[in-house]
Chains A and B, each alone.
Chain A
Amino acid sequence: MTLLSVERLSVGEGAFLALDEVSLSLGRGEALALLGANGAGKTTLLRALVGLAPVRSGTIRIDGEDVTRLPPERRARLGIGYVPEGRRVFPGMSVRDNLEVAAREGAAARRRLLAEVYELFPDLAAREETAAWQLSGGQQQMLAIGRALMTRPKLLLLDEPSLGLAPKLAAELFARIATIAEGGTAVLLAEQNVARAARVASRAVLLRLGRVIAEGDAAALAASPELHDAFFGA
């Protein structure tokens, strides 16, 4: 069954269109890579899905429900977990508070969720009383992902999670993301590193200048001429 369906979505203000009639769909538990160069519209698409970018036309459905005009907090409650570009952890709050604040359950369930996140990211458990702004970039990224998982999302949106991380850390992070996807959470992963994205997602959508220019098997797409064009221009 389709979890997320986006139909002819256009986003932008004034004369500028950041996304131009983008359509895609994602099944339950499926992982989809969103590929494209800087400025292709990956971040805008994720922000539009969350409800943070002005939709001009088209529809977004979650589990068949039209959420196009819903505010971000209502969409999150329908099962969208968001890990934004630049992590955006709550800087003055401790690691533990950053995680707990996202949970909607009572104290006991919150502790169980917390234990699950700590199991996935043991580094966070070791630093649970540390203020988030004092963490390294990699730890902040883990925190941002852990925070989204605390909302028990059906669909996890990840915006370039490896950006600015050392290759070894990035590889580790992608292994965890693969674990999350295998656990049954659907993942929509915006990424510039095609090889890395293909390790998590079997299917990919290629964006260029706000349009979908190719769609299909991630590994095949990685070797396609469209991919070359999307990154280096036709």
Chain B
Amino acid sequence: MTTLLLQLLLNALALGAAYALIALGFVLVLNATSAVNFAQGDMVMAGGYVAIALAAVLPLPGIALLPVVAVLMAALGALLSLLAYFPLIGRPPVAVFISTIALGVMLEGSANAIFGAEPRAAPALVGAGAIELAGIHLPYQRLAIVALASLLILLQHLLFAKTQLGRRLRAVAQDREMARALGIAAAPLIAGTFALGTGLAGAAGLLLANEWFVTPTEGTNYILKAYIAVTIGGWGSVPGAVVGALLVALFEVGVSSALSYSVATALLYAAVLAILFFRPQGIFGEAAQARA
């Protein structure tokens, strides 16, 4: 029984770590622009396909492809900001909702045209196999997902907390006009935030696309998970997004192993409604207030 629980916990951790990257990228863009980037889920999907396309020319394990996928996806993120965000500055926030949804639909259509609707799998991160530890089966793939996602989250944290670039990114997010008045060029930093957020989504795409496959339409599923994670964690809170993502995955894996995946999904939405009703600021709501 304990063995089974530990096994489920590792599954939840692996899934949650990947969700955390998606939610983190989402919340960084949200904080920098107040814009809800609905293309974030489709960027996960795109990251999966970029990994598959790369693997066709560079037959390497996923871990070696990861930096390339992240950089290519970051470039796509900068492009996203140029197409769907900058032209709409000064318009109501709903304009960016729609432009990012539109861009997501275009990505979905392109993926369908290029790769087809069949589920595809990206290469494994380090190869098949598992560690057996005190009777517990620990697949390399899942351990590697947890390790790589944790590393990326740590790197993001260090970038924002310890570097001058990170300070500038935060300053632009908190008061763009004031940051500019201090000599900080805001536009490249905002494009950079989109690049970073999309790079994280793309990395998540590669991490997920081996075990859970990738299909052109799965972006919707991921943006919903990220949105729920950020709602649970506290709108705008960076640690909240990570914790929220882990909770979403824990809930999903726990309930679907006991009951079924559909029940898990239904209960997840019910739980979100309950949180919105009883604690609308989320778990880390304070941080979001301090930001305003």
Q: Indicate if the CB atoms of B184 and A101 lie closer than 8 Å.
A: yes
Binds B, one of A83-91, A172-180, A220-228: A83-91
Of the candidates B170, B287, B292, which one forms a contact with A90 in the assembled complex, judged by CB atoms under 8 Å apart?
A: B170
Q: Which of chain A's residues 42-66 have a Cβ closer than 8 Å to chain B?
A: 50-52
Of the candidates A82, A100, A101, which one forms a contact with B181 in the assembled complex, judged by CB atoms under 8 Å apart?
A: A82
Q: Indicate if the CB atoms of B181 and A93 lie closer than 8 Å.
A: no
Q: Indicate if the CB atoms of B174 and A90 lie closer than 8 Å.
A: yes
Q: Indicate if the CB atoms of B287 and A92 lie closer than 8 Å.
A: yes
Q: Chain A, interface size: which category?
A: 20 to 34
A110 nearest CB neighbor, chain B only: B164
Q: Mark A64-86, 1 if CB is under 8 A from B, else 0.
A: 00000001110011000010100
Q: Which of chain B's residues 169-197 have a Cβ closer than 8 Å to chain A?
A: 170-171, 174-175, 177-186
Q: Indicate if the CB atoms of B183 and A73 lie closer than 8 Å.
A: yes
B290 at the interface (CB under 8 A from A): yes
Q: Indicate if the CB atoms of B182 and A101 lie closer than 8 Å.
A: yes
Q: Indicate if the CB atoms of A73 and B185 lie closer than 8 Å.
A: yes
Of the candidates A107, A131, A133, A151, which one forms a contact with B183 in the assembled complex, judged by CB atoms under 8 Å apart?
A: A151
Q: What B residues does A100 contact at CB under 8 A?
A: 164, 167
A208 at the interface (CB under 8 A from B): no
Shortest beta-carbon distance from A46 to chain B in Å = 10
Chain B CB within 10 A, most for which of A101, A104, A107:
A101
Q: Indicate if the CB atoms of B180 and A101 lie closer than 8 Å.
A: no
CA A148 to CA B182, docked complex, whole Å: 7
Q: What A residues does B178 contact at CB under 8 A?
A: 84, 88, 90
Q: Indicate if the CB atoms of B181 and A92 lie closer than 8 Å.
A: no
Q: Chain B, interface size: which category?
A: 20 to 34
Shortest beta-carbon distance from B28 to chain A in Å = 13
Q: What B residues does A107 contact at CB under 8 A?
A: 164
Chain B CB within 10 A, most for which of A76, A77, A90:
A90
Q: Which of chain A's residues 121-155 have a Cβ closer than 8 Å to chain B?
A: 131, 133, 147-148, 151
Q: Indicate if the CB atoms of B287 and A101 lie closer than 8 Å.
A: no
Of the candidates A72, A77, A90, A110, which one forms a contact with B171 in the assembled complex, judged by CB atoms under 8 Å apart?
A: A90
B168 at the interface (CB under 8 A from A): yes
Contact (A52, B181) CB under 8 Å given A100-B167, A101-B164? yes
Q: Indicate if the CB atoms of B290 and A93 lie closer than 8 Å.
A: no
A3 at the interface (CB under 8 A from B): no
13 A-B pairs in the complex with CB atoms less than 8 angstroms apart = A51-B180, A72-B180, A73-B181, A73-B186, A77-B183, A82-B182, A84-B178, A90-B175, A92-B287, A97-B170, A100-B164, A102-B182, A102-B183
